[in-house]
């Protein structure tokens, strides 16, 4: 998932042709494979993927995430890689990723993210180019068929027509990989940004599978806003399982900008159907979808609402995941129980004592590791044999976040305990600012008020509040200082543009960096029947940027809308989705598509675009919204 877009509501999924069981080609003799529409290990044991997506391509130093994902209960991890659209993951780097998967007893689903949105998103590459990347790192993959599934390309086609089409391009990619000697199970993603709302993958899956001479192909659908009802989820899954076609829901979340996916049904249905699911994603999301982080800032001790839902909720990892048998060596594979939350005492400027409730083990606990936790980094401070430790050589006036692992003689390590935060005495104190708040989102816009919300910040001690500011050039005016991550702004001027941003602050007076801005124009006086539009820059890079515009209807239903603005700094639009753009110089008018023009009272929709800028100023323009 790099970007998902608003789509037409999917109708109840029904097959266009008669449902028949599909007879599969001969299977490879070794490694993970597909048998009778199910993923199995080399020994024939069913392999039901229960895992988490990890953005390795963008956060290559977050290698501790593999252990933390395993500790969360996963039996697999889907790893984001790049062949050049972002920093290239070389053969040696991929070999290390596979080693991390094996060390942590995870099945490794490797995906090339460079293909995301091909035909619609600038910079995306074809499946043919993705195959070139896999061939270039084949040395790291050969011999790993028991541990690695090769996901050719993430969300390989957007919503635009491309040549060759998804079916032909996917067949060709599979055949090229087989001709190059790859024996791995191959995973293929659906078009339409992975969501297959056009049912292209659903209806052409048998012919794609037939193109694989080994029969080792599994299909992957990504379920976001298109799959917002139980009927849609159930029908789509049934359309594959009824034909003995292997399927994985290898990306989904509990919310998204294009709608509210039915995660409860997704998790329940994949469990009853005996197929895989993999949640997006461990951490590191941006561009307004930070709520899809399962943990904050790669810290496993700071799980989000989505993280708790996927990991410990109904049909979650903790109850449905089974470790692959390839990792069951016959010895002691049972880890000790999680140690109790540590308790600190005898705190001085340079030392402290720590104790915790002891762990138990089926054979015996041999010791503990006391670690200092700083984001995703852990540093072992002591390794006592019993459930207490004396920590010395600490810095004065410094905060330490501490946790404990238990271990046994076979090398099994428990899940990490809860953390305790302790500050040594003496000079120093908290100097760490909170993280940057998420880009604010405006709603309920009237002529004199609006509501603002944003993704909450985190802090090493604790966030105590926020400052909502109006930005005008280099001038900032505080409009509200709420304690939580939302605010109601009143007393505003009608028909006036407000550029808003947010700071987070903590008890020590540390203030975060400023969030990205959102531009909102209040309605004209008494204009409750009109519409409003808000503009937010969701991503920015040298020479390019992405923006999202949210259109909110007034108090009466509408059948169409238009948003107009004029860029002031030479910006241009290179591609737009979920709206039709008419440009005249720097002026733009974005009009609704056929599927998102009808809005109920106070309902919202959104469109987005990618553009260019001058690398100096990228000011948020004033928007005018009209509707009929």
Give the catalytic positions in this structure: 155, 251
3-state class of 175 per DSSP?
helix
Helix (H, G, I), strand (E, B) or coil at 205: helix
* Tokens at 226, concatenated: 């298109």
Sequence-ordered strand ranges (E) for 157-246? 185-189, 217-223
User: Beta strands of 346-455 (E only): which ranges?
Assistant: 352-355, 365-374, 377-382, 388-391, 399-408, 420-423, 441-443, 450-453
Helix 263-273 × helix 230-241 angle, to 10°:
20
Q: Which residues contact 498 (CB under 8 A, 6 or more apart)?
A: 450, 470, 489, 492, 519, 520, 521, 522
Residue holding tokens 């904050």?
Answer: 296
Please tell me whether residue 626 adopts helix, strand or coil conformation: strand
The 3-class SS string of 544-583 reads: EEEEEEEEEECCCCECCEEEEEECCCCCEEEEEECCEEEE
**200 vs 185: CA distance, rounded Å:** 21
Closest-CA residue to 108 (of 139, 71, 151, 68): 151
Largest CA distance in the chain: 76
Per DSSP, 599 falls in state: B
DSSP 290: G
Token code pair at residue 142: 């050969």
Q: Report the run of H or E that residue 97 belongs to, with start and end.
A: helix 91-103
Q: Which two tokens stand for residue 343?
A: 């308790």
Whole-angstrom distance, CA of residue 146 vs CA of residue 15: 34
Residues in the chain: 628
Asked if residues 259 and 198 have their Cβ atoms less than 8 Å apart, the reply is: no
CB atoms near residue 407 (< 10 Å): 19
Token reading at 127:
């499946």
Helix (H) or strand (E) holding 480: strand 475-480
Beta strands at 561-566 and 624-627: parallel, antiparallel or unpaired: antiparallel
Enter the tokens of residue 401: 């976040």
| Residues 565/535, Cβ–Cβ less than 8 Å | yes
Cα–Cα distance between 533 and 562 in angstroms, integer?
A: 9
For residue 139 the two structure tokens come to: 């040395």
């Amino acid at each position: 998932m790099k970007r998902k877009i608003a789509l037409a509501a999917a109708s109840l999924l029904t097959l266009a042709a008669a449902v028949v069981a599909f007879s599969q080609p001969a299977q490879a003799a070794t490694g993970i494979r597909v048998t009778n529409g199910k993923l199995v290990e080399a020994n024939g044991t069913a392999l039901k993927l229960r895992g988490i997506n990890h953005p390795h391509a963008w956060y290559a130093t977050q290698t501790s995430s593999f252990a933390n994902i395993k500790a969360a209960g996963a039996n697999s991890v889907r790893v984001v890689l790049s062949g050049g659209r972002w920093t290239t993951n070389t053969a040696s780097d991929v070999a290390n990723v596979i080693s991390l998967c094996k060390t942590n007893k995870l099945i490794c689903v490797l995906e090339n993210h460079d293909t995301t949105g091909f035909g619609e998103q600038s910079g995306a590459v074809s499946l043919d180019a993705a195959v070139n990347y896999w061939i270039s790192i084949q040395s790291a993959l050969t011999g790993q068929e028991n541990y690695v599934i090769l996901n050719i390309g993430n969300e390989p086609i957007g919503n635009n027509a491309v040549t060759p089409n998804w079916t032909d391009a996917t067949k060709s990619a599979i055949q090229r990989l087989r001709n190059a000697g790859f024996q791995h199970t191959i995973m293929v993603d659906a078009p339409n940004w992975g969501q297959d709302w056009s049912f292209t993958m659903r209806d052409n899956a048998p012919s794609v599978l037939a193109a694989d001479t080994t029969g080792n192909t599994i299909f992957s659908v990504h379920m976001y806003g298109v799959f917002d009802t139980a009927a849609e989820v159930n029908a789509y899954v049934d359309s594959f399982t009824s034909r003995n076609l292997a399927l994985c829901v290898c990306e989904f979340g509990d919310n998204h900008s294009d709608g509210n996916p039915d995660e409860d049904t997704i998790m329940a249905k994949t469990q009853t159907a005996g197929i895989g699911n993999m949640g997006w994603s461990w951490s590191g999301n941006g561009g307004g979808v930070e709520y899809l982080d399962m943990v904050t800032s790669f810290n496993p001790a700071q799980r989000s609402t989505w993280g708790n839902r996927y990991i410990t909720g109904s049909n979650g990892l903790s109850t449905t995941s089974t470790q692959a048998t390839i990792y069951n060596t016959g010895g002691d594979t049972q880890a000790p129980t999680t140690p109790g939350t540590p308790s600190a005492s005898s705190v001085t400027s340079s030392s402290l004592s720590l104790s915790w409730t002891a762990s138990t083990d089926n054979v015996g606990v041999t010791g503990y590791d006391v670690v200092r936790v700083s984001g995703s980094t852990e540093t072992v401070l002591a390794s006592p044999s019993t459930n207490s430790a004396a920590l010395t050589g600490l810095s004065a006036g410094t905060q330490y976040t501490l946790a404990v692992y238990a271990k046994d003689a076979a090398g099994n390590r428990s899940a990490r305990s809860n953390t305790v935060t302790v500050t040594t005495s003496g000079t120093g104190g908290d100097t760490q600012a909170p993280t940057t708040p998420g880009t604010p989102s405006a709603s309920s816009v009237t002529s004199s008020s609006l509501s603002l919300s944003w993704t909450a910040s985190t802090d090493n001690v604790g966030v105590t509040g926020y400052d909502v500011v109006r930005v005008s050039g280099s001038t900032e005016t505080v409009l509200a200082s709420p304690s939580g991550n939302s605010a109601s702004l009143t007393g505003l001027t009608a028909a006036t543009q407000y550029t808003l941003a947010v700071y987070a602050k903590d008890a020590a007076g540390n203030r975060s960096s400023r969030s990205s801005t959102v531009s909102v124009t209040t309605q004209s006086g008494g204009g409750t029947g009109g519409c409003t539009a808000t503009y937010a820059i969701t991503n920015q890079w040298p020479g390019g940027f992405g923006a999202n515009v949210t259109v909110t209807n007034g108090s009466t239903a509408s059948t169409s809308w238009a948003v107009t603005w004029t860029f002031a700094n030479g910006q241009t639009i290179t591609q737009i989705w979920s709206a039709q753009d008419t440009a005249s110089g720097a002026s733009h008018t974005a009009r609704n598509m056929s599927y998102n023009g009808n809005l109920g009272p106070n309902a919202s929709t959104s469109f987005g675009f990618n553009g260019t800028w001058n690398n100096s100023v990228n000011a948020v323009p004033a928007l005018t919204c009209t509707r009929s």
